[in-house]
Amino acid sequence: MHANSASPLASGDGLYDAVVTGCGVVGLGAALVLASHGFRVSVVGRRPPQFQPNPAQRFDPRVFALSHRSQRILDRLRVWDNIPNDKVQPVLEMQIWGDSQGPDQGQLRFSASDTGVDSLTWIIEQSSLFDSLLAAVRYQPAIDWVDAPVEGLSRERDVWAVVSNLKTLRTRLLIAADGAQSLTRQQAGLDYELDDYCAEGVVATFEVEQHHHGSARQWFEGDSVLAMLPLPGPYVSMVWSQPLHESQRTKELAPQALAESVMAVSGGAVQALYGQLKPCGQTYAFPLRHGIAPVWFDQGVVLMGDAAHVVHPLAGQGLNLGLEDVAELAQLLTSRKRLLAVQRLGLADEQLWRAWERRRKAACAPVHFITDGLHNLFRLDLPGVATLRNKGMQLVNQLPMLKRWLSQQAMR
Ligand SMILES: Cc1cc2nc3c(=O)[nH]c(=O)nc-3n(C[C@H](O)[C@H](O)[C@H](O)COP(=O)(O)OP(=O)(O)OC[C@H]3O[C@@H](n4cnc5c(N)ncnc54)[C@H](O)[C@@H]3O)c2cc1C
């Protein structure tokens, strides 16, 4: 039964129970959760350009490290099982190095076997995840997808009109999942100032001479962080977070020169682990920002995913937090009492969203605090600080109980 056939938002009045702006992973995930609970939803947004593997570029340059909680929600939405196995790389080990050289260098190592799991996280290409989400959306008759960008919003009493060049849609609940620079957030009067790190994440794929063995590796070097994420086969995806003055240079390097400069990181440690790196495809760069919107729900507008919170990618948590926003909504709707109340009152029910906002803000705050804090700690260039942070890493590495707890927090 569709909720709108029983609720005051009957299909005849032309209202959707919810309209989601933004056809990203979070927007599609939120639409699937609502549709699976019987609500009629429209998603408005262009699909990202489809990535076509080719001999020069076998892998989508955008990949995500997904946590156990993200995996669980994607599984419940019947998205996970449709991602081809050869597009998912389990992470069996994580290694992190500090920014000193020689014996003073801090090192942290987490392994799936020490933590009692098969995989710490999974590395997935954006395009594979997106294709599987879109297939699930196409199978869901309660979702209408409008393949056009949102051009504007207007408020007609308690109803939002969402304007695109294909259609105008009406709803009492508008979910803004249109990313860090959300137009919906801005037009609904919920905008806030994001902190610009004045840095970029430079992204490229390499074939490696020595296999990665499922290890995700990260090197901190002052205000740069190099992450090498394992991909299926002898390939790695690089995310090099650098201040703008360095990233501008890095992204202009010819592919082989880029490979040389990556191999030289940490006194040649990258080359020692992977051997020669062979570039596979182009280099891309993404701006790095940070922020949490002060208000996530007001007058029938909800902010989700990057529209609500943006974190530095050094801990690979941005999309995971967005998928947890979706999982929390699913969790709240599993209460039959609450579902019945929402079906009676409509999806814009203030109590539902206040509860959701409270839980999500409480879960996001520590992740923001830690990622921003780590970023700032490694940027500090004061005497003795480098020694302290490297010693701190060595100490944590020798405390199995604390390490186990830390890896469980990171995996959740
Ligand atoms: C270099 C880098 C590496 C990262 N690595 C990881 C990682 O390993 N793990 C992780 O969890 N996170 C990672 N992140 C973070 C992750 O990319 C984001 O948190 C995630 O993509 C947010 O998803 P979203 O759906 O909220 O927003 P987006 O992915 O930004 O999607 C928003 C969608 O809205 C659309 N849109 C925008 N404006 C409009 C409009 N006017 N009308 C309609 N649609 C519109 C956009 O086209 C887009 O499709 C990384 C980020 C960077 C920069």
pLDDT of residue 108: 82
- Determine if ligand 1 sits within 6 Å of the CB of residue 15: no
- The residue among 179, 75, 164 whose CA lies nearest residue 124 is 75
Best probe residue, ligand 1, of 51, 306, 326, 364 (max atoms within 8 Å of C-beta):
306
Distance CA 22, CA 323 (A): 14
Which distant-in-sequence residues (6+ apart) come within 8 Å of 323 by Cβ?
25, 26, 29, 66, 69, 70, 73, 74
- Residue nearest atom 37 of ligand 1, based on CA coordinates: 178
pLDDT of residue 401: 63
Distance CA 149, CA 136 (A): 21
pLDDT of residue 232: 95
Determine the atom of ligand 1 nearest the C-alpha atom of 304: 26
Q: How far is the CA of 71 from the centre of ligand 1 (A)?
A: 17
Crossing angle (nearest 10°) for helices 68-76 and 318-333: 50
- Determine if ligand 1 sits within 6 Å of the CB of residue 313: yes
pLDDT of residue 411: 62
- Residue nearest atom 31 of ligand 1, based on CA coordinates: 24
For the whole model, what pTM was predicted?
0.91
Q: What 3 state SS string does the chain have?
A: CCHHHHCCCCHHHCEECEEEECCCHHHHHHHHHHHHCCCCEEEECCCCCCCCCECCECCCCCEEEECHHHHHHHHHCCCHHHCCHHHEEEECEEEEECCCCHHHCCEEEEEHHHHCCCCCEEEEEHHHHHHHHHHHHHCCCCEEEECCCEEEEEEECCEEEEEECCCEEEECCEEECCCCCCHHHHHCCCCCCCEEEEEEEEEEEEEECCCCCCEEEEEEECCEEEEEEEECCCEEEEEEEEEHHHHHHHHHCCHHHHHHHHHCHHHHHHHHHHCCEEECCCCEEEEEEEEECCCCEECCEEECHHHCEECCHHHCCHHHHHHHHHHHHHHHHCCHHHHHHHHHHCCCCHHHHHHHHHHHHHHHHHHHHHHHHHHHHHHCCCCCHHHHHHHHHHHHHCCHHHHHHHHHHHHC
CB 101 within 8 A of CB 387: no
Q: How far is the CA of 101 from the centre of ligand 1 (A)?
A: 35
CB 410 within 8 A of CB 371: no
- Determine if ligand 1 sits within 6 Å of the CB of residue 223: no
Best probe residue, ligand 1, of 226, 319, 325 (max atoms within 8 Å of C-beta):
319
Would you state the structure tokens that stand for residue 28, as one six-digit string? 């599609």
Domains of the chain in start order, with CATH, are 3-50+129-194+289-371 (3.50.50.60)
CA 322 to chain centre: 6
CB 203 within 8 A of CB 225: no
Would you state the structure tokens that stand for residue 283, as one six-digit string? 């280099």
Series of mean pLDDT values for 10-residue runs along the chain (412 residues): 37 79 97 96 91 86 94 96 94 86 76 89 95 95 96 94 94 97 97 94 96 94 90 96 96 96 91 96 94 96 98 88 97 89 90 96 87 68 64 64 63 63
pLDDT of residue 367: 84
